[in-house]
Amino acid sequence: MISLQILGLEEDMNSLNIIHVAGTKGKGSTCIFCEAILRECGIRTGVFTSPHLIDVRERFRIDGINISEDKFLQYFWDCWNQLEEKATEQLPMPPLFMFLTILSFKIFISEQVDAAIIEVGLGGTEDSTNVIKEPTVCGITSLGMDHTEILGDTLGQIASHKAGIFKPKVPAFTVPQLPEAMDVILERAKELMVPLEVTEPLDCKQMKGLKFCLSGDHQLYNAALAVSLSRCWLQRTGNWEKVCQNDFQDSNLPDEFIRGLSTANFSGRSQIVCDSSLYSDCPEIMSENCGGELIFYLDGAHSPESMEACAKWFSNALKGYKNASQTSIGVVNAEESSENGPFLHESKTLGTFEKSCRQILLFNCLDVRNPKILLPQLVNECALSGIHFSRALFVPSMSKYTKVTSGASVIPSDLSGIDLSWQFNLQRIWEKIMHGKEMTPLLDKDFKIESKLMLPPHEFLYDNASKGGPSHNDFPCSAVIPSLPLTIKWLRDCVKEHPSTRLQVLVTGSLHLVGDVLKLLKR
């Protein structure tokens, strides 16, 4: 890549000792697991993931912490100015993701990290991160049907792109795949003489009683892959003996590995946040007089496979909450809780109380996704666990995919010119799932796109909300709301008016939507 030459980074790339990770789902979590494991082993780490949810600095972690604003600006403008100075019509400025990838190399080289864990952005073969010529080890997480407009419409084609990160004779690891994908991965490994190992899911007994902060059964595959990648990295860089005096045994993880797996956190993935704004008048306790409960379950699932995993996690989380609510409860707000850990703690000062629960879906996805697959997948998987959504809300995201944003970025308030046609399309799909037939005439009548400032009455969330739908077929069980800030405020107002109700809101379909919700909850 010419940009690396301009910045004088090419010769220093090998010093990064890179773990390169591709995949359809779980590659970000796998990178975060690797980073936490190696950091616990005393290794100075850098990790590059995407996308960011609130602040662009989330993409660049040094020793587990987002890069500071001062350092980010220093490296950003250093790279930008040098590339802009050399830019010509034949050599234009690199597009956003390519620039951020180059920036990650600049940051990690300058900060002298011992290990750089790099997540592929899209695909593998043609991805900006694939300028890495000599990684220490490569990994491929679970593969599925995503980005088919770019990567192809078969698992084999997608696997071919993902396996494009393999380098001659460089060890690689993957998780169990469907035969169509595994055949391609094995063939690619054979061509390049890559030692390839398939890892089985981690046995919880190996954790010695500790649990992951990253929730969901699917994380057992990501954790196992991270264990293999980290072990291989330590062995190939001559650091293994410092960590473990004995040979590696699958049934006996080093304590450093266990600590890393149990402390790794990744915002927006299987994350639970209690809306602390509702308790401003009584922040120390939660009771019926505090105005009810509003709890957000956030997961950026956006493929059929990840949506299935999201549904299972959400269902299990609700069951866990129900069990926890049988005891006395105190509140830990979003700032005090770990990003993915429990937000409830037992309290001896409060008596038990019962609240009725409503499960609400807050959803948006890119128009390149297929909601006719994603939404039924979510509904059906939740239904298997006895979980039914009372209502669904469809909103546009605030984030712009082509902009670099920070946590202090201004939240747009102008609703003029908003195109809600995609959200109304999502609503029609949802209503057909709920009613078993098209509801287009009703939606056109009662929820016109021109009525952008109209909000449903608060009772919309509560009337006839049992068993996942309305009691009669002439009342829609979903709504389009023109902005996310309006939606959050409306949900808060609904809960304040119904203090005996607990709203459990699943936010999914897009990592950008999840990031926008987190941004609003933290303000």
Q: Residues annotated as binding site for ATP? A: 269, 299
CB 503 within 8 A of CB 295: yes
Q: Which residues contact 77 (CB under 8 A, 6 or more apart)?
A: none
**Three-state SS at 196:** strand
Q: Compute the distance between CA of residue 224 and CA of residue 244 in angstroms, rounded to an integer.
A: 18
Amino acid at position 353, single letter:
F
Amino acid at position 358, single letter:
R
Indicate the length of the chain as a whole number: 523
The β-bridge relationship of strands 172-174 and 196-198 is parallel
Binding-site positions for Mg(2+) read 50, 119, 147
Token pair 């019926």: residue: 288
Q: Which residues contact 324 (CB under 8 A, 6 or more apart)?
A: 344
Q: How many C-beta atoms lie closer than 10 Å to residue 366's C-beta? A: 14
Q: Compute the distance between CA of residue 238 and CA of residue 235 in angstroms, rounded to an integer.
A: 5
- 435 burial (CB, 10 Å; 0-12 / 13-18 / 19+) is middle
Q: Compute the distance between CA of residue 75 and CA of residue 60 in angstroms, rounded to an integer.
A: 12
Cα–Cα nearest to 224, from 142, 307, 342: 142
Q: Compute the distance between CA of residue 244 and CA of residue 227 in angstroms, rounded to an integer.
A: 13
Binding-site positions read 50, 119, 147, 269, 299
Strand partners, 25: 142
Cα–Cα nearest to 403, from 165, 52, 160: 52
- Please tell me what DSSP assigns to residue 207: G
Tokens coding 105: 């190399």
Q: Compute the distance between CA of residue 168 and CA of residue 15 in angstroms, rounded to an integer.
A: 18
Q: How many C-beta atoms lie closer than 10 Å to residue 97's C-beta? A: 18
Q: Compute the distance between CA of residue 23 and CA of residue 119 in angstroms, rounded to an integer.
A: 9
End-to-end CA distance of the chain: 40
Tokens coding 340: 């993915």
